[in-house]
Chain A
Amino acid sequence: MDTPRTPVVIPCAAAVAGTRLPPLRIEITCTLIVAAAIASRDYQDVHHDAELARRKGSPDIFMNILTTNGLVGRYVTDHFGPYAVLRRVAIRLGAPNHPGDTMVLTGTVEEVDGDTVTVRVVGENGIGRHVTGTVTVVLPGTDEGTDTDTITGTGTDTDMGTGTGTGTDTVTGTGLDSANLPVRRPG
């Protein structure tokens, strides 16, 4: 059976100021630091060469800011789902992320303005506060007709058992309250 995937969607109506996002633990390994530095096209030696990092006064290699930025963005979109659209990410770095440490990201919804939600994010590691920042994200709303598709909550399980579920654009009625919820496609 090939049922179209229904991603988790958190409509803006579900976002309330003061809501805490579940924490995300990230083990800081050499592999993470190096792989993410290279994936972000950052070849500064302090992000992959421990000896050169030490010569510059750091006890070991440390995570680059692009990686922190990516992890903070991921933390918020992991929570709000793939239809959430990042509008702004602003971060400030403090205590560096070295291999062997663990960073725990926590977030609190700071403000909800229509379909726009601002989340305050903090990342703590073993030596202190690695990152503080705010992320602004636009969630699938209920008040915009443009640029949205409607989930057709027909309640008819048209895909069930037919084996022809591929290629259909219709998300079949799930029986959830999200039926008839206009959904903003990613982008």
Chain B
Amino acid sequence: MSDAVEGAFAARLKAYEGRPAAVAGVGKDRVNAPMIRHWCEAMGDTNPAYTGPDAIAPPTMLQAWTMGGLSGHAGRAEAYDELLGLLDQAGCTSVVATDCEQEYLRPLRPGDEVTFDAVIESVSDRKRTKLGTGYFVTTRMDLRVDGEPVGTHRFRILKYAPARARPGGRRPRPVINRDNAGFWEGVARHRLLIQRCTGCGTLRFPWLPGCNACGCPEWDTVEASGAGTVFSHVVVHHPPFPAFSPPYAVGLIELAEGVRMVGNVIGVPYDKVWIGMPVRLEFARYDDELELPVFRAQDGNGG
């Protein structure tokens, strides 16, 4: 997003501050002993205040009484749905709750029917987080029983575009030109071709218009046998790119013919790659258009 577009979008988001997130909501179930018991069992909470004829609900269940469950709420306010929809369209399709602040004004007891209203308190500027870039949305809910306040619930979520494993992310396309087209034609036929200078016989990789050894522009090719060893390697942890899931190993492979090339090392955990490890060429298909040479770890001792 450009700064101007970003600014306009931020202003649209800010306009939702103060608008309702829920209006005249009614809890799907009255406060009841079975739901209290299920909660206590899950939480391992054996507090005797939550059982028996005078039981109260665990105060921290406050939000649970307002949840829509599997079928959701019919009466959610349009403004909140609109805001979330806007963020979805901006690529912020994931959501995670970050903050919860609750005040309990009086205990809830079986039979209480909880009603609630909520307002969008604030929408943050665009934030970069570890999870991805997104916006914090804060809502405040007031809960009542028989019209009397019983508690408040402030809730903050992060709506964000996931930083990694973005579905649909494709590997970058190779730049194919006059000088390297022969290499990619070879890949398409599952042959790894090394250039050979016809002047002095020196092998070269990657493909270049002329020989580094003698300057001769004439060349032919030799097909690599596919055998090689790891000459060096790195493990990529950060930053993440679409279509790549760190951590992964990138090897500098010395082919049996003597030239070196960069490629993914597969068939072995990223932290089990070692210098000198024997590898064998394979062709891996990544999508409809893209096939790449990769190197599969072979059985070998050492490391």
Contacts and interface: CB of A to CB of B under 8 A. Distances in A.
Interface footprint category on B:
35 or more
Contacts of B56: 186-187
Nearest to B107: A187
Contacts of A7: 48
Given A35-B41, A57-B163, A43 B103 contact: no
B97 A93 contact: yes
A70 B61 contact: yes
B70 A43 contact: yes
Given A69-B102, A93-B98, A187-B54, A74 B131 contact: no
Please classify the interface of chain B as helix (H, G, I), strand (E, B), loop, or mixed, using the class held by over half of its residues: mixed
B47 A74 contact: yes
Interface string B60-87: 1101100111100000000000000000
Given A74-B45, A90-B100, A57 B109 contact: no
A107 B99 CA distance: 18
B228 interface: no
A89 interface: yes
Contacts of B164: 57
B101 interface: yes
Contacts of B39: 36, 39-40, 70
B59 A73 contact: yes
A66 interface: yes
Given A57-B164, A71-B43, A65 B70 contact: no
Please classify the interface of chain A as helix (H, G, I), strand (E, B), loop, or mixed, using the class held by over half of its residues: mixed
Interface footprint category on A:
35 or more
Interface stretch (A15-23, A80-88, A156-164, A171-179): A80-88
Contact of B109 (A42, A70, A88, A187): A187
Nearest to A82: B49
B94 interface: yes
Interface string B142-181: 0000000000000000000011111100000000000000
A67 B43 CA distance: 7
Given A86-B60, A91-B100, A187-B56, A42 B162 contact: no
A66 B162 CA distance: 22
30 contacts: A7-B48, A35-B42, A36-B42, A39-B38, A39-B39, A39-B64, A40-B64, A56-B94, A56-B162, A65-B97, A67-B42, A69-B60, A70-B43, A70-B45, A70-B60, A72-B60, A73-B60, A74-B45, A74-B58, A78-B45, A78-B47, A85-B59, A85-B107, A86-B60, A86-B104, A87-B104, A88-B102, A89-B60, A90-B99, A186-B54
Interface of A: 5, 7, 26, 32, 35-36, 38-43, 54-57, 64-67, 69-74, 77-78, 82-83, 85-93, 185-187
